[in-house]
Chain A
Amino acid sequence: MSKRKGQEIFEIPSEEDLAEYIHKGKKVIQHIEEGKTPIYFKPKRQHPKITFTIIFILVLSSSVIIMVPAMISIFSSINPSTNQTTTQTTYTTQTTIPSGEDPVTLSQSVNQLETFLYQFIPENYSNFAPFMENNSINTSKRITFQEILDFIWLLSQDRDSEWRDLGRNLLYTEYRIWENTSIETESLDLKAHSLRALLSYPQKEVPLIGTEKSSYENRCSLLWNSIKEAVDITSNTISFQENVSIRIADEQIIFLDILCAGTTHGELFNYNELQGYAKNILETLDEIITNINGIPEDFFSNLTEFNPIYSFKDQGHLFLALHALDHSFDLGSLAQSLIQRLDSFIWNYLTRVDWSCNSYYNNTSHKGSNVLASYDQGLMIRNHILMDRLSSANYTANTLRQKLSMSNGGYIISNIKNSSAYLIDQVQILVAFKELIELKNAHESTTGPSMASFWGLQPILIMIIGLSIKRLRERKRKR
C-alpha cells in the first residue's frame, strides 16, 4: 500500500538533464571545496538564453584568467624555475597502501641483488653455481643443463642490455647449445626446454651466419618436429611422456612459450601453424580449467579430473605465457578471458593477507602453503605489472623485501631451506624489480605537470569558444 510512495517517486532524469546535473553537481562540489556558498541550480533550463550567455562569459573570462598567467610564464620562461600552478582541484584525499618504512629504495635493492648475483657467475662462464649455502658458494655443486636453459630463457626476458646480453652470450658463445647433438637423445621435456632457450632471442638478435646459422636452424627444426609430435590431436594437449595419459601443467605452458617465441623466428616457423596450436591448446585449457579457474599441477586421464594441488609457479608462468600469446597471436578474446579468470583465481586462492602469495594451494583441504618462495613472489610482482597494478606490485615487492631474509643483498627462500639462495630465484626477482621500476617511471611521467598541459589546453579553449559562438548563432537563427 504505502510502500509505493517510497518506491516510485524518485525522479529519473532524461538523458540530457542527466549530463547537465552531473556537470552542475561538480560545480557545486567545487564551490564547497573553495569555501564558497554553493549555487544551487535548476536542472531544467528555463531561461536558456541567460544561462547560456552566463556560461559563455564564464568561459571567456576563465580563458583570459588562465591565459594571462600562462603568457607571463611563457615570457619569463628564460628563468627555468618558474612556478607552475595547477588549476586541478581534488576534493578528497586518497589513501594509498603503506609503502613500508624500508629506507632502501627499489633501485638500491636492484644494485644489491646484482652484486649478489655476480657471485654466482664464474669468470669463464664455465661452471655456474646453482645455489649458495650459508652465504658461500659451494663450487662442487654444478648447475644442471636444464637450469642453464631456464636461466637463459629468463635472462632473455630482461629488457636491460647487460643481463639480456649475458643470456645471449651464454647461448651463442659459451654454451652453443645447438651444437650439442646429444639433445636429440634426451627426453622430450629437456628438448622442449632446449628449444625454448634456443628461440628465446628473436631472429634479428641471432648473431650467427653461414654454416653456423644453418646448423642452428637445423637443430631448431629437428627439435620442433619432435616436440610437435607430442601434441595429442584428440585432446589438444601436449604430453612429453609417451603412453602416459596424465597431462602436466608445466608442459602445456612450456609449449605455449615455444609457440610465442616461434613467432619471432619468421624464417623457421609457419605463423599459421603456430597459431593453430596456440588456439587449440587454449581452447582446451579454457574448457578444462573452468572448475576453479586456475591450472592444477596435472590433469588425470580424462582431463576432467584434477590433481587438487595448484602451484603458484604454474599460475604465474601461465599468466606470463597468456599475455605473450595475446600479444603474438590473433586469438579473439580467448587469451584475455583466460587471463581474467586466472587473475581472479590468483587473488581468490593464492594471495595472502600480507600481500605475498602462497606457493601452492590445495583445493581439497582449502589450504595454502605458508612457504614464501622468492621465485613465486617475483612472478607475482610481474603478474601485477602486466595488469598495470602499480600499488599491488609495490606492496608485494615491499613484502618480499621485508619478509624474506636478506643476506648479502640476496633474497633467500624462507621457511624451507633457510640458508640457501638459488640463482634462478634471484634472477626472477631482479627481472621483477626492474620491470617495477619501469612501470613506476611510466606512471610518473604521465602524471607530472608541465608546460605541455597549457599547450594542451589551448585548442580545447579555442574549441569551447568556437562551439559557444556556433551555438549562439544557431539559437538566434531558430528564433
Chain B
Amino acid sequence: MQTVAFHSYRGGVGKTLLSVNTAVQLAKFGKKVCLVDFDLRAPSLQSYITSESVFSLDQNDFVSFTEFLIGKGSPEEVINPTKLENFYVVVSDIEILQNKSQTRSKLTQHGEGRILAKLFEFIRYCNSQEFEFLIIDCMPGVTYRSLDALVVSDKIMIITRPVKSEITGLGLVISECYSKLDDTKFYAIMNQIETIQDLKNQPNQMDLKIAQDNLKGIASTLKNNNLEIDILHSFRRVPFVTERIYVLLEDPHPFTKEIQEFCQKLISL
C-alpha cells in the first residue's frame, strides 16, 4: 500500500480538490483506495461526498475520524464504503472540535505522539485490508497534526501555486520541515498554472513576465536543497472549477483529463 499525503504550506491551494478527484479516479482505474480527511482544522471532504448522489451517503452515515483518533472508535467504523467500487472514505467532523473542549484539547495539542500512533494504527489496518492507496488530505502549514500525516506517509505531494508569497513559504517548509523527513519521497505539484492560451485575451507583458518569473522561482526553490524534489505534474487553472468531483462526470471535463494523467504518474512512481 502506498500512503500519499497532499500537503501545502498555505491553505486554499487545492489540496482537497486534487486529493478527492485523484482518489476517485484511482478507484475508477481499479485501485482500492481509501481517502482520509485529516484536515481536522477545516474538514471539507464530507460536503464533497454527500453532494454526489452516486455515493448515496448521507450526512448522518458517518462516524468522524476524530472519534477514532481520540480512542473511541475502531478503524472499521470510520471507513465508509461507497457505491463506487474500490472507493472508501474517512471523513472528519468539525462539530466535535467546536463543541467538546476535551476532545478539542486532545486533538489540537501535540498529544505526546498519541494521535500519531493512532494514525499509524489506522494505516496498518488499511494495509491489512489490502488497500492499494491511502490518500491523506492534510492540514496546511506546519502543525503537529500535519507533521503526523507527513511522518506516516511514504510520498508527499507538495501543492504550490505559482505566486510569489508561496515561493517563500515553500522554501521555508522545505528547510524547516521536509528536510527532516529523510526517508520520505517528496513531489511537487503546481496548481492553477496559467497557460498562454488562457491569457490570450489579455496579452499583458507585465503579468506574463511575473507569471514566468514565479514559475522559475518555484523551480529554483525546489532545486536549491538536498531533497531533489521534482515537479510531478502541473495543473492548469481551470475556469469555473468549484468544489466538485469532476472525474465522476459523464462528459469529459478538462480537469478530468489532467487528473487521469496525474493518476497515471502516481501509479508509476
Binding partners A and B: yes
* Interface residue ranges, A against B (CB under 8 Å): 2-3, 5-7, 9-13, 15, 18-19, 21-26, 28-29, 32, 38, 40-43, 91-95, 97, 290-292, 333, 336-337, 340, 344, 347-348, 351, 353, 355, 389, 391-392, 395
Pick from B124, B142, B154, B233: contact of A18, CB below 8 A.
B142
Whether B268 lies near A6 (C-beta < 8 A) is no
The chain A residue with its CB closest to the CB of B269 is A391
Pick from B1, B94, B113, B139: contact of A41, CB below 8 A.
B113
Pick from A6, A348, A392, A395: contact of B94, CB below 8 A.
A6
B219 interfacial by beta-carbon distance below 8 Å: yes
Alpha-carbon distance A95/B268, docked complex (angstroms): 10
B132 interfacial by beta-carbon distance below 8 Å: yes
Alpha-carbon distance A391/B268, docked complex (angstroms): 6
The interface residues of chain A lying within 8 Å CB-to-CB of B148 are: 25
Q: Per-position contact with A for B81-121: 1 when CB-CB < 8 Å, else 0?
A: 00000000000001001100000100011101110110011
B227 interfacial by beta-carbon distance below 8 Å: no
Whether A42 lies near B112 (C-beta < 8 A) is yes
Whether B132 lies near A95 (C-beta < 8 A) is yes
The interface residues of chain B lying within 8 Å CB-to-CB of A395 are: 268
Q: Give the size category of B's interface with A.
A: 35 or more
8 A/B residue pairs, CB under 8 Å, sorted by A: A12-B144, A26-B151, A32-B120, A43-B144, A91-B120, A92-B123, A353-B29, A355-B268
Whether B127 lies near A93 (C-beta < 8 A) is yes
- Beyond A6-B94, A18-B176, A19-B180, whether A40 also contacts B113 by CB under 8 A is yes
Chain A: minimal CB distance from B100 (Å): 11
- Beyond A13-B142, A25-B113, A92-B127, whether A6 also contacts B1 by CB under 8 A is no
Pick from A26, A92, A336: contact of B1, CB below 8 A.
A92
Top 4 closest A-B pairs, CB basis?
A40-B112, A10-B143, A6-B97, A25-B151
B264 interfacial by beta-carbon distance below 8 Å: yes
Whether A290 lies near B196 (C-beta < 8 A) is yes
**Chain B interface helix/strand/loop/mixed:** helix
Alpha-carbon distance A444/B140, docked complex (angstroms): 37
Pick from B41, B121, B176: contact of A10, CB below 8 A.
B41
Whether A291 lies near B108 (C-beta < 8 A) is no
B205 interfacial by beta-carbon distance below 8 Å: no
Whether A5 lies near B196 (C-beta < 8 A) is no
- Beyond A6-B41, A29-B151, A347-B265, whether A11 also contacts B143 by CB under 8 A is yes
The interface residues of chain B lying within 8 Å CB-to-CB of A24 are: 113
The interface residues of chain A lying within 8 Å CB-to-CB of B268 are: 97, 355, 389, 391-392, 395
Whether B195 lies near A292 (C-beta < 8 A) is yes
B234 interfacial by beta-carbon distance below 8 Å: yes
- Beyond A13-B147, A25-B113, A347-B265, whether A333 also contacts B219 by CB under 8 A is yes
Alpha-carbon distance A40/B108, docked complex (angstroms): 16
Whether A22 lies near B108 (C-beta < 8 A) is no
Pick from A9, A29, A43, A95: contact of B120, CB below 8 A.
A29
Alpha-carbon distance A94/B120, docked complex (angstroms): 16
